[in-house]
Structure 1
């Protein structure tokens, strides 16, 4: 057999392993007969691939089920406990580091505070390195890799470089900087993209192949899913929803432009607008999360501070709703899912957001779109980052690939 022939056989075998492994990961436990029906592979192929995966320790037997008129069928499942991954959310107020098993169940977590709205990349790298060292020390499980969700545009040049205009990062070689601290495979992507993948795999987006995931934190971003795949654009910057212009000559955005949506709906902007509306306000608790939570709480008061909070939050809901209407009219998604710590904190605004979106959308596309909150909570970015090494592991048919830094989005 020629080298090309051997490569073709090897590639086919790897593709079959990947197909079967994904089926077991997302839908297992399954019998071999189930796998034949689900994958379209022959009985011999399923038998051979399953044997390979069992021998490699990736798949294990998981009991049996009765079959009609025959022997019980042995169920197979992925051995989630044998492998682990790390997911990291590089936020603008903290770095969240979490270690998961292969099924994305949290095993350990730690938070590292970040100083300032424009964190020094060296401080962030040191924080990530410290969190990794803390969470991986003493574990006896094989760690497949580390996924990292960051604010800004991520380009592979060929290693991951971050262009985070709103946080002052102009071409930061994040992956190269982290290589001095770990030999684990690294996968870096935009935080909204990682959140979207987590929701597609395990959360509110599991039943659709067409969705927009909105990440609202200090700023605002989006992840666009069409036909089950992440829409990245020609320079990987698709999804910068927060920097669509909503008011000519409007408020100054952190990116340097005026009138961006983020300058009205990001937590930093909501807090600033509230302080402008109620100059006597005292948001005593430190930190954006506490301050935004206090504003939402004040909206239930009958005081002057409560009046100011209601006005600001009503405008915020209107702005988010109009921003969603633009997405509905432009992209016609089946779902719009709101996440991020600030988006979830503003959950009481959801009815007004839906109303504003309806008022500013074309009737037909809006009637086919649902608007809801994310199901995975504020750690969805870290969990989504952890899906990146998992996706590479599945795509390789159970052999981790340290050279693969970007994982495809999809529900499986």
Structure 2
């Protein structure tokens, strides 16, 4: 029951906000315009996720799943109310900061909840189920949002977000008892640490996720630009960029279970290396079938590695520091998403758009190899080391 409630809440929140986030520049055009305030809306949202993630992890270790999940859902609901009630750009920017804060709490609390539900042997399957609900909601919400905005304007979009938030909050209140856990902190010496104690595997995870986020950001931002430069129509570009969430959701049906059977670090390395190879091939694809094939391969590779990486992260978290480990992981991932556009902008100016995908592929391959080196002595489900 607990897993079902978590999956439903994850789906509702992701679906609700993906309705507007995919069309943010269009939905909020009358409020923030197309200039500096639009950039601020995205920057403050991303920056608040990065800043609040370590604190979210520490609070989660101290207070437990139920309280932190409730807090994040209240924040999401407050943001949806602001979207309905206010047209002031400063208030909307403040709401985006609060939305980023809520996201910083939301993902770690879901992962901690599935980790606390049972034994490590099923972590891959449970992490996969959580990610399936995320990608299905992301794909469906983005698709639905366009039709909803055309039919009822931004008011319909905002009401849809609010309904999803209210339903998720009601689910939480109705099933609050089954979500209760105590804080994960067990050892006083670690209670005041903002980040977890380092270990070789964790270092490998962080390097890997930084450059994975870098690669994903590179493709999401610059693949449409590359396709436009090659003369593809807007419908072709839209079709291509809508494929990854569906591919991820489909393959996660199988890869979550595989993560409980196969060696997890091998799955992560293989998925990362194949995804990086797909980035390297993008500049050499000149027709739509080739681009779609590359996107499908990259999405399948991402789905192959993702549940295994989530399970490894939870297994290897030091005692009493699960929340902080996830918080640090999300912070580094956010930095990868944030740094990538800056460097890629320079690459675009001085080396051309093809260099963006080449660099993303090379760094992805190198980070996958570094991950493999850091985890080669990893044995068992509880992340024991032969050091």
Instruction: Report which of the two structures shows the higher radius of gyration computed on alpha carbons.
Output: 1
**TM-score, normalising length: structure 2:** 0.25
Structure holding more strand per residue:
1
Q: Which has the higher contact order (CA 8 A, sep 6+)?
A: 2
Structure holding more helix per residue:
2
**TM-score, normalising length: structure 1:** 0.24
